[in-house]
Chain A
């Protein structure tokens, strides 16, 4: 037997050399050489119960830490099961390295067992991808993969390794490096032009996206906000770039944004977009979005400038430097700022919903307040996701893990797995709905196997709530395939997986349940029955301007919950 390392051994040694400590995966035929080399390597491998769980968990690990997430799967169905997670990371610019086994090179192109052209399938949803033909290339390719995943605008990459390449011995043992890439500095003239626009604006507004945090610019941004006194709205992914308790923070904009945020955008005369991409869920009807505003758009990705809304000033490059460089003279905006604050107060969320049932927004607000600065929410997708965005308090952007661009149901539970492993000293809470939860429910077995003390709040309305809401409002109450009233007993199911679990059905039980959940030592599920008729408000109808918000108001006095 050769003493030279195999391709598989190079995979493991290179991952360790690149600083990987934890990865998520599921073995199978074509990736067996790599799993053979993994055993006893010292890497912490988390065996999920479905490959989609691996890509979602790695995604959340990356979001929570800022490091590159790593997942592995075998060829064919193993690889295709990763895809939703890869697309999710692509849409939200999350650094992710996905390693897939591939059938042997002699079988490639013959429709071999568990053969699928995963490189071809993933082309539109990765920053880059490699098919490894020579085991000696593995250190270099993995070094490239990590660099490309994390540099500039981050994103997922794929490394597909045929079984014979992984099994082959090679004389290469050195760990390759890849030249570090430095983000370009913003153009000084563009900065000056931006400052002129800000100085002349009477109704300026920051529109901040997830790129602010990914660019390491959140502290600088908060300082800029305080220095200029300009109000802030954020995208879904930008929530937390300034603490949600900041007085100049008006909330999330867009389809389920706050009235204060959307009104400010519509009335502003200058929108300063930072690390945001004018996504349709944020802008509503694009040609009616911020109709009176000039645009400053700063982003690391030049392809985002002018993509959807023409910028008067575009600034490409390092967002942290961009923000630190901006030193505008801001005068005469006090009336505007007071108006924004007054709108925020007037249209603040109410928590005195009628009835005795659990009002989910109030529960979520209480949960985030009790968990405090150590709170991390791993959201699923649906009504509960929007309620989290609207009602939870976040101290920073990496505390709010949500599937923004792709809106992938099933994200929440595996994301909670990844986040809790990344941040064991935090109150990591998966917040899910009964539709989403069933999509990756098997990952409760992962919680049990590794005794990961993730907390789960399952808001159960026995239906696909957001679809039901749209059918009620926009499809003449023609309720089509949204009934989930035959759900299993989630408390029984969770206990069968080895979790602690309990249920609440009434409002008076909420505070005690939240306390019990946060104090629990092991993985625990709180099953919350909520009213299936509950909707998410406000709502901008699809295709409408953000000025056309639908709201539900109660007549009761504005007592706090």
Chain B
């Protein structure tokens, strides 16, 4: 099953490689992507597909969120709400 993730990137050295590398390293295929201009930032839409069922797009979203200078704009609405009770907070962990 594919998942579409929209990402906003600061124009920092290596930011595109950083996020694409993370997606592959965390166990996802990148099936499609589109890079677009957002003025001071860049937008990236990526369609990802887990390599195996154990790979959760929810977790991938959280992994992307914690990258510095990279903000996940939107994704599967379930992202980040995996626990029964969890304080979902945008933090630079």
Contacts and interface: CB of A to CB of B under 8 A. Distances in A.
B59 A307 contact: yes
Given A124-B25, A311-B83, A311-B84, A302 B17 contact: no
A306 B82 CA distance: 7
Contacts of B22: 124
B37 interface: no
A15 B63 CA distance: 30
Given A128-B69, A314-B83, A315-B87, A303 B14 contact: no
Contacts of A189: 85
Given A124-B22, A128-B68, A153 B93 contact: yes
A300 interface: yes
B93 A152 contact: yes
Contacts, number: 104
Given A301-B66, A307-B59, A315 B93 contact: no
A187 B87 contact: yes
Contacts of A305: 62, 82-83, 86
Interface in A302-325: 302-303, 305-307, 310-317
A303 B84 CA distance: 15
Nearest to A148: B68
Count class of interface residues, chain B: 20 to 34
Interface string A112-130: 0000000110011001111
A423 B89 CA distance: 37
A531 interface: no
Contacts of B91: 152, 183-184, 300, 302, 316-317
Nearest to B14: A119
A123 B82 contact: no
Contacts of B65: 302-303
B82 A310 contact: yes
B6 to A, nearest CB: 18
A343 interface: no
* Max chain B C-beta neighbours (<10 A), residue from A152, A181, A312, A314: A314
B55 to A, nearest CB: 11
Interface string B49-72: 000000010110011011111000
A303 B22 CA distance: 13
Contacts of B13: 119, 129-131, 133
Nearest to A303: B62
Contact of B86 (A123, A190, A307): A190
- Contact residues of B: prevailing secondary structure: loop
Nearest to A186: B87
Nearest to A155: B93
B68 A302 contact: no
A183 B18 CA distance: 24
A151 interface: yes
A130 B68 CA distance: 11
Given A303-B59, A303-B62, A184 B89 contact: yes
A193 interface: yes
Given A190-B87, A303-B62, A305-B82, A152 B17 contact: no
Contacts of B17: 120, 123
Contacts of A148: 68, 92
Which of B17, B21, B91, B93 has its CB near the most chain A CB atoms (within 10 A)?
B93
Interface in A158-217: 181, 183-184, 186-187, 189-190, 193
A184 B13 CA distance: 28
Contacts of A314: 82-87
B83 A123 contact: no
Contacts of B63: 303
Contacts of B58: 306
Nearest to A302: B62
A519 B18 CA distance: 50
Nearest to B62: A303
Given A300-B93, A303-B93, A120 B14 contact: yes
A306 B55 CA distance: 11
B25 A152 contact: no
Contact of B84 (A120, A183, A312): A312
B5 to A, nearest CB: 14
A-B pairs with lowest CB-CB distance, top 5: A187-B87, A314-B83, A314-B86, A303-B62, A301-B93
19 contacts: A123-B14, A123-B21, A128-B69, A129-B14, A148-B68, A153-B66, A181-B92, A184-B89, A190-B85, A300-B93, A301-B66, A303-B62, A306-B82, A312-B83, A312-B85, A314-B83, A315-B86, A316-B87, A316-B89
Interface of B: 12-14, 17-18, 21-22, 25, 56, 58-59, 62-63, 65-69, 80, 82-89, 91-93
